[in-house]
Amino acid sequence: MTVPPRTATSSDAVFDRLRRHQSPTLALTGKFAGQGAVESAASGSRVTLSDGRSVLDFGSCAVALLGHRHPGVVAAVQRQLAVMPTSTRSLANPVSAEAAAVLADYLGGSLPKVAFGLNGADAVEISVKLARLASGRDRVLAVRGSYHGTTIGALALTHNPLFRAGLRGCTVDVVHIDPDDPDAVRRECAQGPVAALIFEPVQGENGAVPLSPEVLRRWTLDAHAHGAFVIADEIQCGLRRCGERSVALAERLTVDAVLVGKPLGGGIVPLSAMVCSDLLYAPLSADPFLHSATFGGHPLSCAALPAALAAVEDLAGHGRMLTDRLTAGLQTLHERHGQVMSGFRGRGLLWGIDFTAPQTAGEVVVGLANAGLLVSPCLSRPTTVRLLPPLTTTTAELDQALEILDTALDGAARTFTAGSPATPRSPAVPAF
């Protein structure tokens, strides 16, 4: 059968295909968010819709740290595409080898081993798998409020039961500990062997919640004292999203692995990685076929990595300026709109804005989308909306985003002063 080439189609045709071949809810969500339009092009911090409108992208599940189509990353991927986009899997590939070396050096060299995947759950899965194999233990400690993915293994580590609805069980023995309890790891280790402790230094899907460095330091020491590995999941908060290359390493936490992803492929190609110690990697060193993935270390994705990290470093100073400006702007908005905006928290370019009710948050998300600002809601915390501006955001774009947010907060205040609707106006939207 010959498959005809795709041509430009109307937005209605797109929504019809989504309904018929994927999910009616996805079609409804997308139609609602775009006011009937679909995304058609993107550059920098902006996305162009099929009806010609341009919107600021402060969402994209934290992938667009470098905005869309960063020229340095695009050029690197194009060069690799013209030479050898995939791998034989039998011969050694220089592109993935270079990417591993660049990434290990980028994080300071104390964690020399690298395993590549395509998404965050890949990195989570291999890190926990290796921790259990290397330690000979089964139990894993995670943190309340955590999000580590929705594959069956990573799902056990994710705290909110919403993501496990309908499943009778998961394959990892997990205990979720209180993020404010410095003694939690020591107490759990005293009750039985622990293979690993995994945490997000800044919890993303839970609403941009930074965990206490003092608590994390105590946990790390206690875990190592009892022979457990320590894994820092920085898939959302790492790579300068929260100011540092690695939040955990910047806090001088002696972790055995740092997990990175989302913007690692420069917002162009999917790529994630576990960067870890020799000891954690030992089972894979002994048997390199113990864990495999057809597209792990994919040359086209790995070609993006050096260019992406170089671009991130070039923009790091600009990111600090954006952080200061955004923090001041959010403080002003909180002072002006305290009746609907109950607070905000975050670090770097990862911020959560808290609202007085889920309905208020939904109203604001709708208002923002209608006015041209895309954000990321939180399924785990429906009263919170995340702002994830790219490092490429200009000061004018940031000021525009704050103005749009100011207007949306005004609109929400008027709506809920007149009387709260029983349900949010926005449909369920994907988060994480």
Give the domain range for residue 333.
17-69+315-418
Answer whether residue 136 is part of any domain.
yes
Segment (H or E) for 42: strand 39-43
- Return d(Cα 370, Cα 411) in angstroms, integer: 12
Last residue of a domain, one of 261, 279, 314: 314
Are 142 and 236 contained in the same domain?
yes
Per-residue pLDDT, 282: 98
Which pLDDT score, from 0 to 100, does residue 168 have? 65
CA 63 to chain centre: 7
Question: How far is it, in rounded angstroms, from Cα 271 to Cα 315?
Answer: 20
Count: domains in the chain: 2
| 129, 291 Cβ separation under 8 angstroms | yes
181 and 230 in a common domain: yes
Residue 395 tokens, joined: 């000061």
In a domain, 330, yes or no: yes
> What is the model's pLDDT at position 153?
76
In a domain, 427, yes or no: no
Q: Are residues 234 and 263 in the same domain?
A: yes
Q: Is residue 93 a part of any domain in this protein?
A: yes
CA distances in angstroms from 81 to 26, 86, 128, 308, listed in the order given: 31, 9, 33, 16
Same domain, 321 and 365: yes
Q: Are 384 and 356 in contact (CB under 8 A)?
A: no
Answer for the pair 300, 86: CB distance below 8 angstroms, yes or no: yes
CATH number at residue 402: 3.90.1150.10
Question: Do the beta carbons of residue 75 and residue 290 sit within 8 Å?
Answer: no
* In contact, 231 and 198? CB cutoff 8 Å: yes
| Same domain assignment for residues 271 and 134 | yes
Report the C-alpha gap between 278 and 265 in whole angstroms: 25
- Residues 381, 377: Cα–Cα separation, whole Å: 8
Q: Is there a single domain that holds both residue 197 and residue 140?
A: yes
Assigned domain for 10 exists: no
Residue ranges of the chain whose pLDDT lies below 70: 1-8, 155, 166-171, 417-432
Report d(CA 131, CA 257) in Å as an integer. Answer: 10
Q: Is residue 31 part of a domain?
A: yes
Report the pLDDT value the prediction gives residue 426, as an integer from 0 to 100.
41
Cα separation, 254 vs 249, in Å, equals 7
If asked whether residues 151 and 292 sit together in one domain, one would say yes
What CATH code is carried by the domain that includes residue 187? 3.40.640.10
Clarify whether residues 57 and 132 are in a common domain: no
Task: Provide the H-helix boundaries in 107-212.
Answer: 120-135, 152-157, 184-191
Place of tokens 């600002």: 373
Regarding whether 306 and 392 lie in a shared domain, the answer is: no
Q: How far apart are CA 195 and CA 229, in angstroms?
A: 6
At which of 314, 341, 358 does a domain end?
314
Q: What pLDDT shows up at residue 414?
A: 87
199-225 pLDDT, tens digit each? 999 999 999 999 999 999 999 999 999
Ramachandran bin of 161, using left for φ above 0, alpha for ψ from -120 to 50, beta for the remaining angles: alpha
The encoded tokens of residue 366 equal 């709708």
Residues 255 and 126 in one domain: yes
Residue bearing tokens 């911020």 = 351
Q: Is 166 found in the same domain as 78?
A: yes
Distance CA 204, CA 431 (A): 10
- Between CA 125 and CA 155 the distance in angstroms is 10
Q: Is residue 39 part of a domain?
A: yes
- 145 & 244 share domain: yes
Instruction: Flag whether 12 is in a domain.
Output: no
Is the pTM higher than 0.85?
Answer: yes
* Other beta carbons within 10 Å of 20: 10
Domain finish residue from 314, 331, 347: 314
Integer distance in angstroms from the first to the last C-alpha of the chain? Answer: 39
Dist. CA 226–CA 202, nearest whole Å: 25
